[in-house]
Each structure stands twice: as structure tokens, then as C-alpha cells.
């Protein structure tokens, strides 16, 4: 038996009906693993924001989840337009979402700041017109 | 299961002698708390939230709701019937509240008091509570005890969002007790009996989740009272001559509607939402948990469709009951009842200050039912086992293994409470490969469903 587990989810760009599916699955797994409820809450909020970002901006993406007793790592790799200026994107209220997306209740420009607030560690790398990789790390014991 | 101690008292009891092992209950249980073993339904205590969905689908009445023996009321000199507004809602408009009350008095009660009077005290307290906790949103009503338990077991993250205040029912009981004591009654001679529309309220009274003791002495099921009143009405008892009806303080229209869907949410300022029926509540709470929705101030969540009008112990049609209560409220509003008139010398307002001091309840604790193990490494190993087992299961969710879904069976196996050859598909495969003889395979099924179901009807 391994002391670590991996999960993988595909995310379809533009399909908001299914946005949140992967986050829900992650939540379910963490509950079953008896992870502290406050950590689950922060993890799911960060994962959900990241998942919605992929749906809103990218063509497609994959979420890789890596869990061991020390940490939960969620890596979202997408194929999409990429982020030209990551620092700008991290500002609250900054959004490139279309009015159509905003009407659906998404794209208020709180995604990245909210992820940063909830994640213990957040790493973003991006290449314009290629895609973006977001890595969320949550520490399960005392914060590293 | 023996893994944890018993968290909850349950009002729903399964009668093994009556159960025919049809698994209808297992298939509707929203928390997957039921398994079939030896041809009988078995309840996993820590998963059950007392919603009563099982009670409604049992075709043979094998699930019963425990209640106090009616004769218990005669152990007390003061016998108070605490009635919810959905009780009069059970009867057609031609049966008056007066008639219902006179039957209750005829049965032996000395006092009748409507539960919803307690909402007047509670409503103000809820406003204060919400203002004091502006950082915690959404706040969730603790009106429905099945929902409180559901939050504890399935959404443990949200136990802090539950409004930690006494229920209107307890406030009403406390008021009546205090009032009688002040009028000179011996506290030991006061018996307060709640006429309940559901099992969850009973469970909550017998083992309150956040509050240690209840002012309520006992519980009588509403269907029992319904039959008594109906018999009496059918036999032509008008109730007008035989009894003097105590003058009751009329309820305000909004108090009458408190137990119906939107009864609370319509009274709360801010963005308040009402959701009824437990599966709807689960679906919605999943969204709340992901913080997909985060600008709601108040959630009124009820386990039954049409809220208490659809309580499992109600006898009338839930839509008619709700309609009747709304009609009554409309009439009261027309008559200007909401311009507060004190027709009776007594009112719960007389004790408002005193009651408000004592509205707090103990902390409602999370009781996660989803965790596979307390220890994360062991939980992880069990989860790997579940994944491994799922590869051999058919994803049909037929329930023939005695667990409600393939996934539930896989979890039961990982917990050491079931075996993979309980699955009929696995049995067929094993028979084919010679791993199981037809006789052994038959025995597996008999162990789950009982021998009787496999007897040849020709012999």
C-alpha cells in the first residue's frame, strides 16, 4: 500500500455547467481521508477558483492531484491563451472575462487573489498562446 | 457500526419481525445509512439523521416511530399539549381549531399551547445573533433537527454556521412551564407533551444535539392525535357543549406560517433562501461548500417537502395542509390580528426578558460520516482498497449485495464489513471460473436476503 495517492481530472474549456466537478471530487476525497475540515475548506475554495479559471480562459486542461500525509498538491495544466502579466492578474478586481462570462456570475477578478488567500503555497507559470500551469499546495500538518 | 461510539438517539426503529427485506428503505436513504443482512434492513446509527424517508416507503410498516405511551400524561396534574400549527392544517376547513382543542381536552389534556408562540422570542434573538456574527455567512437555521444532524455528518465544515439558539418548540415549553410554576403549580406535576409531525423532533427532544435537557416531558405522534380527532368528528362530536375551551392568545399570521417553507426566510433581512426536501438540501449544500455561492446571509433548510406540512407523521395531504395554514394566516391578517390585540391576560411576551436570557445551546459538533478512518494513512489505504475493489464491481448500483451502491459496497468491504462475493456479478464470474460452486453462491445470497426468498414456490 502506498502512502500517497494520485488523481487526475479533465477540464473542458467553456463548459460552465460542469465547472466545479473536479473540486467537488477533491473535497469528497479529502473528507474521506479525514483531513482537517478547515484545510478542506481552503483547499476546495482554491481548487474551485483555479478550475473555473481553466473553464473560463483555456481550451482544455488537466488537474493532477497528489496527496500524501504531509501535503495536498493540486496542479492545473491548461492549453490556452496564457497570462501575459501574472502580477497584474493577481490584483483584486482585474479581469479579462467577457461580459457573457460575468453575467453567469464568474469573472469578477477575484479568482487569483482568492486562490492566493486560501492556498498555503501558490505557483503560477504561463506562456502566452501556449497555456498556464497553476500549482496549489496545502500543508496538512504545521505549515511548512 | 462499532467503529465509533453512538452519537445520536434515533426515534426511527426497525422491526425485524415485520421487515420483509425489500430494500426500498435502503434505496431512498439520503445518507446511505441502511444495509440488508439476513433478509432484514439494518440501520447504521451514526449515518442516520432521522429524516424518515425510509418510514414513508416501507410497504409493511416495519419502520416505526417511537413515542411515549399516551397514558403517561396522567402521571401529571398539569397535562400540557404543545401543538404545532400543522396539526389544525391536517383537517379540512370544516373542522375548527376549537373542535380539535376540545378533543384534546376530552382526551385528558388540561392545557393547550401552540408551539409557534415561541417564534416571537426566537425571531428577535435570531436578528441579534446574525448581527453579532457578520463574518459568518451563510448562517443556517436550526429549526429542523434532521438538517442539524445532516450538517453534522455530511457538512461538518458548516456546524459553526448553524444558529446556536434554542428551537421555538423549547422556548414555548419553557414559557409554559415557568408560567404554570408562577401560578403555583408543583414543577414535578407539570407534564409537557409535544404533538410531533416528524421523527427528527422526537430524536432531538430525547437527545438534544446542542442543549442538554429539554423542558418537554414526552412526545405524542401526530397521526395518533389525528385519528382521535377524526373519529370524534365523524361521530358527530361538535366539542362546543362538553368542554370549556381555554382562551388562546391568537398567533400572528407570520407565526402561523413559520413552520412552512419560507416561514423563516421571509422574516429575515438580507439575502435569505429557503430550501425544502433533504436531497435538495444536500445538492445545495454541496455548492455552498465549494463556495460557489457566497453572498447568502441566511439559509432555511428543511428535510421534508413542504416543510412540516410534509412531516412523516402527518396524515393529511401536505399541499392542502400548507394551503390551509396560508388561508388561516390571510384571514388573520384581514381581521387585523397583526395589530397586536391582547385578548388573553397571558402572553409569552410577559416572560420575554427571562426567556431571552436562556436561549443559548451547547456547541454543535461536527460528526463526519465520510471519513474512512481517523488516521489519515489508514484512511488512504482504505481508499486505495475501495478503488481496487471498484475495478471489479459493475457500477450498476442494483443493491443486490445488500449495500445501496457499488461504491457503498466497496467502502463496506474496505471497512471489513462486507465481502466482494456479495456482488451478484462477481458471483457469476466466480461460478464461471469455478471459484464458487452454485451452492456456495446461493448461500451468499441467502445470507444477504434470507432463506425464505429462495424457497421454491412449487414445493
pLDDT score of B217 more than 70: yes
Tell me if residue B2 falls in helix, strand or coil.
Answer: coil
In angstroms, what separates the C-alpha of A24 from chain B's closest C-alpha?
7
Q: Under CATH, what is the fold of the domain B1-66?
A: Alpha-Beta Plaits (3.30.70)
Give the model's pLDDT for residue B162: 97
Which of the two residues, B154 and B234, has the higher pLDDT score? B154
CB–CB contact A33 B379 (8 Å): yes
Residue B275 has pLDDT above 90, yes or no: yes
Of A5, A38, A48, the CB nearest to B291: A48
Cα→Cα distances B290→A41, B3, B16, B261, B286, Å: 8, 29, 41, 25, 7
Q: Which of A27, A32, A37 sits opposite B379 (nearest CB)?
A: A32
Alpha carbon of B286: minimum distance to chain A alpha carbons (Å): 8
Please tell me the distance from the alpha carbon of residue B16 to that of residue B449, in angstroms, as a whole number: 13
Fold of A4-139: Heat Shock Protein 90 (3.30.565)
DSSP run (H or E) holding A12: strand A4-12
pLDDT recorded at residue A102: 65
Q: Which of B266, B301, B309, B307 is nearest to B89 (CA)?
A: B309
Across the interface, whether the CB atoms of B383 and A29 are under 8 A apart is answered yes
CB atoms within 10 A of CB A54: 26
Pick from A2, A3, A37, A118 the residue to mutate for testing the B interface (most B CBs within 10 Å). A37
Q: Where in chain B is the domain with CATH 3.30.70.20?
A: 1-66
More confident: B82 or B245: B82
Q: Which residues of A touch B375 (CB under 8 A)?
A: 34
Rounded to 5 degrees, φ, ψ at B145 are: -65, -25
The verdict on B156 touching A (C-beta cutoff 8 Å) is yes
The confidence score (pLDDT) of residue A144 equals 44
Q: CB distance from A35 to chain B under 8 Å?
A: yes
**Reported ipTM:** 0.85
Tell me what the mean pLDDT of segment B247-261 comes to. Answer: 87
pLDDT (tens digit per residue) in A42-79: 999 999 999 999 998 999 999 999 999 999 999 999 99
The SS3 of residue B83 is: strand
Residue B353 CB partners (closer than 8 Å, separation 6+): none
- Asked if the Cβ–Cβ distance from B383 to A32 is below 8 Å, we say yes
Higher pLDDT, A131 or A104: A131
Classify residue B452 as exposed, middle or buried by CB count within 10 Å of its CB (0-12, 13-18, 19+). Answer: exposed
**pLDDT tens digits along B351-374:** 999 999 889 888 999 888 999 999
Any idea where the domains of chain A sit in the sequence? 4-139
Q: State pLDDT tens for residues B405-456.
A: 999 999 999 999 999 999 999 999 999 999 999 999 999 999 999 999 998 7
Contact: A40, B157; criterion CB under 8 Å? yes
Mean pLDDT of chain B: 90
A-B CB pairs within 8 A amount to 65
Q: Does B286 touch chain A (CB under 8 A)?
A: yes
Using the predicted structure, report yes or no on whether residue B285 has a pLDDT greater than 80: yes
Confidence of residue A84 (pLDDT cuts 50, 70, 90): confident
Instruction: Report pLDDT for A89.
Output: 79
- In the structure, what pLDDT confidence band is assigned to residue A19 with cuts at 50, 70 and 90? confident
Instruction: Write down the pLDDT at residue A91.
Output: 75
Asked if pLDDT for residue A111 goes beyond 80, the answer is: no
Percent residues over pLDDT 90 in chain A: 60
Q: Which residue has the higher pLDDT, B449 or B7?
A: B449
Contact between chains at A27 and B289 (C-beta distance less than 8 A): yes
pLDDT at B289: 86
Residue B236's pLDDT is 75
Whether the CB-CB separation of B372 and B382 falls below 8 Å is answered with yes
Amino acid at each position: 500500500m502506498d502512502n500517497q495517492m494520485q488523481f487526475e481530472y479533465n477540464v473542458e474549456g467553456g463548459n460552465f455547467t460542469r465547472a466545479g466537478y473536479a473540486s467537488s471530487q477533491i473535497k469528497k476525497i479529502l473528507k474521506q481521508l479525514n483531513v482537517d475540515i478547515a484545510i478542506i475548506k481552503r483547499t476546495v475554495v482554491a481548487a474551485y477558483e483555479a478550475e473555473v479559471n481553466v473553464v473560463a480562459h483555456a481550451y482544455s486542461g488537466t488537474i493532477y492531484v497528489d496527496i500524501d500525509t504531509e501535503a495536498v498538491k493540486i496542479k492545473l495544466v491548461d492549453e490556452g491563451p496564457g497570462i501575459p502579466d501574472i502580477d497584474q492578474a493577481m490584483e483584486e478586481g482585474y479581469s479579462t472575462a467577457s461580459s457573457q462570462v460575468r453575467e453567469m456570475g464568474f469573472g469578477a477578478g477575484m479568482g487569483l487573489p482568492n486562490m492566493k488567500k486560501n492556498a498555503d503555497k501558490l505557483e503560477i507559470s504561463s506562456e502566452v498562446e501556449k497555456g498556464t500551469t497553476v500549482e496549489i499546495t496545502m500543508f496538512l500538518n504545521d505549515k511548512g | 457500526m462499532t467503529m465509533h461510539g453512538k452519537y445520536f438517539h434515533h426515534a426511527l426503529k426497525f422491526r425485524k419481525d415485520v421487515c420483509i427485506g425489500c430494500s426500498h428503505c435502503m434505496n431512498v436513504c439520503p445518507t446511505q445509512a441502511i444495509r440488508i443482512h439476513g433478509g432484514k434492513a439494518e440501520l447504521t446509527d451514526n449515518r442516520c439523521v432521522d429524516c424518515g424517508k425510509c418510514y414513508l416507503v416501507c410497504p409493511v410498516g416495519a419502520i416505526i416511530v417511537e413515542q411515549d405511551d399516551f397514558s403517561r400524561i396522567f402521571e401529571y396534574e398539569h397535562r400540557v399539549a404543545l401543538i404545532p400549527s400543522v396539526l389544525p392544517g391536517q383537517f379540512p376547513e370544516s373542522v375548527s381549531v376549537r373542535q380539535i382543542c376540545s378533543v384534546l381536552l376530552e382526551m385528558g389534556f388540561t392545557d393547550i399551547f401552540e408551539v409557534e408562540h415561541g417564534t416571537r422570542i426566537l425571531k428577535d434573538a435570531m436578528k441579534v445573533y446574525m448581527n453579532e456574527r457578520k463574518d459568518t455567512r451563510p448562517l443556517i437555521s436550526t429549526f429542523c433537527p434532521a438538517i442539524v444532524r445532516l450538517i453534522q455528518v455530511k457538512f461538518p465544515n458548516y456546524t459553526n454556521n448553524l444558529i446556536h439558539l434554542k428551537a421555538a418548540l423549547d422556548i414555548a415549553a419553557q414559557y409554559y412551564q415557568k408560567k404554570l410554576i408562577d401560578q403555583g403549580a408543583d414543577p414535578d406535576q407539570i407534564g409537557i407533551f409535544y404533538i410531533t409531525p416528524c421523527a427528527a423532533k422526537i430524536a432531538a427532544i430525547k437527545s438534544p444535539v446542542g442543549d442538554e435537557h429539554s423542558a418537554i416531558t414526552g412526545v405524542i405522534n401526530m397521526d395518533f392525535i389525528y385519528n382521535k380527532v377524526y373519529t370524534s368528528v365523524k361521530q358527530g362530536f361538535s366539542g362546543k357543549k362538553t368542554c370549556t375551551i381555554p382562551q388562546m392568545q391568537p398567533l400572528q399570521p407570520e407565526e402561523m406560517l413559520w413552520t412552512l417553507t419560507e416561514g423563516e426566510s421571509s422574516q429575515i433581512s438580507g439575502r435569505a433562501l429557503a430550501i425544502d426536501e433533504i436531497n435538495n438540501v444536500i445538492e445545495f449544500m454541496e455548492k455552498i461548500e465549494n463556495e460557489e455561492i457566497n453572498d447568502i446571509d441566511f439559509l432555511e433548510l428543511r428535510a421534508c417537502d413542504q416543510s412540516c406540512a410534509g412531516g412523516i407523521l402527518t396524515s393529511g395531504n401536505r399541499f392542502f395542509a400548507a394551503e390551509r395554514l396560508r388561508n388561516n394566516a390571510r384571514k388573520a391578517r384581514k381581521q387585523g390580528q397583526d395589530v397586536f390585540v391582547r385578548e388573553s391576560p397571558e402572553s409569552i411576551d410577559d416572560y420575554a426578558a427571562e426567556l431571552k436570557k436562556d436561549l443559548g445551546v451547547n456547541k454543535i459538533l461536527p460528526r463526519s460520516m465520510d471519513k474512512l478512518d481517523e488516521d489519515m494513512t489508514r484512511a488512504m489505504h482504505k481508499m486505495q482498497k475501495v478503488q481496487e475493489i471498484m475495478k471489479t464491481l459493475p457500477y450498476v448500483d442494483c443493491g443486490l449485495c445488500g449495500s445501496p451502491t457499488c461504491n457503498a459496497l466497496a467502502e463496506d468491504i474496505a471497512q471489513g464489513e462486507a465481502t466482494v462475493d456479495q456482488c451478484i456479478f462477481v458471483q457469476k464470474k466466480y461460478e464461471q471460473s469455478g471459484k464458487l460452486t452454485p451452492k456456495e453462491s446461493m448461500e451468499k445470497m441467502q445470507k444477504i436476503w434470507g432463506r425464505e426468498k429462495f424457497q421454491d414456490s412449487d414445493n
